[in-house]
Structure 1
Amino acid sequence: MVNFIWVGLTVIGLVFAAINGKMEEVNEAVFKSAGEAVTICIGLISVLVFWLGLMKIAERAGLLQQLARLFQPFVKRLFPDIPDGHPAMGYILSNMTANFFGLGNAATPLGIKAMEELKRLNGGKAEASRSMITFLAINTSSITIIPTTVLAIRFSYDSASPAEIVAPTILATACSTIAAIAIDRFFYMRRKKKGGK
């Protein structure tokens, strides 16, 4: 559906530009934007490689395992349906840690693996389990202390103070995560009262 929306917006924009005689400006904007996209991507690659490298060092040093162990009691309360020692819990903790450091690109494959394990735990059913819904809500809203991608974009555009986004990001993502957990629990308790799982 999203693909149709994007194609529709593109076609409407081109038709509108043709009717108003603005096709030259559209062509100029397309090539200028393409050049900017390449510049931003190269800037992002360098920053992401740096942070992913730090993440790998932290993993080898055992810091990520310690952080995961620190989060485990809290995460276990969020996902009581997951048995102890199940691989899904490891993927969930790794995903949350990567999101914590603003490494969405590194968190995505871990999130997919976590969902695969949760689906397996759910017996392969098409309907999402309680744990799958909770994980999706937390993964989408995740607390971030270092917004790596936003910092990289601000650096590439020569922002006067690129790091000033850090405090608002921590506050905004903390609020979104608290809201996601609260809403998830509200609907879970409501469903439980009605006799659902």
Structure 2
Amino acid sequence: MINLIWVALFLIGMGYAAVNGTMDDVNKVLFSSANDAVQICFGLVSILIFWLGLMKIAEKSGLLNKLSNLFKPLMKRIFPEVPPDHPAMGYILSNTIANMFGLGNAATPMGIKAMEELKKLSGGKTTPSRSMITLLALNTSGLTLVPTTVIAIRMQSGAHSPTDIVGPTLLATLCTTTAALLIDRYFHHRRRRKK
């Protein structure tokens, strides 16, 4: 469906430019935007490689495991249906830690694996389990300590202090994560009362 929307927007824009005689301007903007996009991508790749390398070093040194153990008691409370030693819990912890360091691209495969394991845990049902809904809420709200992607974009755009975003991002994502978990718990208890 989203593909149809993008195609429709593209065709409407091109048609509007053709009717108004501004196709030359559209072509100039298309090529300059493509050039800007490539430059931004190279900047993001370098930042992501740096942070993914640090994550790999943290994993090899055991720091990632220590962080996982630090968050495990909290995650047990957030995901009470998931046994602590189940593979799903490991993927959930890895996904959460990667998101906390702003590594959304690295967190995505772990989130998908966590969902697959949670589906197995729920007996392969087609309806999402409580843990799946909670993981989606937690992932969407995304508590972030270091917003690496935003910092990289700000650096590429020539921001004077690209890391100024860290404090507001931490505060905003703390609020969204708290709200997501409270709303998730509210609807879970509401469903239980209806049954």
Deviation at 1:19, TM superposition (A): 1.0
Residue number in structure 2 paired with 1:182: 182
Gap runs ≥5 in structure 2: none
SS at match of 2:123: coil
Give the aligned length.
195
- Given residue 132 of structure 2, which amino acid in structure 1 is its aligned partner? M
Tell me the distance in 1 between the aligned counterparts of 2:119 and 2:147. 30
- Given residue 176 of structure 1, which amino acid in structure 2 is its aligned partner? T
Tell me the distance in 2 between the aligned counterparts of 1:153 and 1:44. 7
- Given residue 161 of structure 1, which amino acid in structure 2 is its aligned partner? S
Residue number in structure 2 paired with 1:28: 28
Deviations 1:88-133 (A, max 9, x none): 0000000000001111111000000000101111111111000000
RMSD over aligned CA atoms reads 0.8
Tell me the distance in 2 between the aligned counterparts of 1:175 and 1:145. 13
Deviation at 1:84, TM superposition (A): 2.9
Deviation at 1:3, TM superposition (A): 1.2
Q: Runs of at least 4 residues of structure 1 off by over 6 A? A: none
Tell me the distance in 2 between the aligned counterparts of 1:95 and 1:183. 21
Deviations 1:5-44 (A, max 9, x none): 1111111111111111111111111111111111011111
Deviations 1:121-169 (A, max 9, x none): 1111111000000000001111101100011111111111111111010
- Given residue 15 of structure 1, which amino acid in structure 2 is its aligned partner? G
SS at match of 1:3: helix
**Structure 1 residues 128-143: aligned runs within 5 Å:** 128-143=128-143
Q: Are residues 186 and 85 of structure 1, via their aligned partners in 2, closer, same or farther at CA, if it must alter by over 3 Å? A: same
Residue number in structure 1 paired with 2:3: 3
- Given residue 8 of structure 2, which amino acid in structure 1 is its aligned partner? G
SS at match of 1:81: coil
- Given residue 55 of structure 1, which amino acid in structure 2 is its aligned partner? M
Tell me the distance in 1 between the aligned counterparts of 2:121 and 2:2. 30
**Structure 1 residues 1-197: aligned runs within 5 Å:** 1-195=1-195
Tell me the distance in 2 between the aligned counterparts of 1:52 and 1:113. 18
Gap runs ≥5 in structure 1: none
How high is the TM-score relative to the length of structure 2? 0.98
- Given residue 73 of structure 1, which amino acid in structure 2 is its aligned partner? P
Deviations 1:58-111 (A, max 9, x none): 111111111111111111111111123110000000000000111111100000
Tell me the distance in 1 between the aligned counterparts of 2:3 and 2:124. 28
Deviation at 1:176, TM superposition (A): 0.6
SS at match of 1:171: helix
Tell me the distance in 2 between the aligned counterparts of 1:27 and 1:40. 20
Tell me the distance in 1 between the aligned counterparts of 2:84 and 2:169. 33
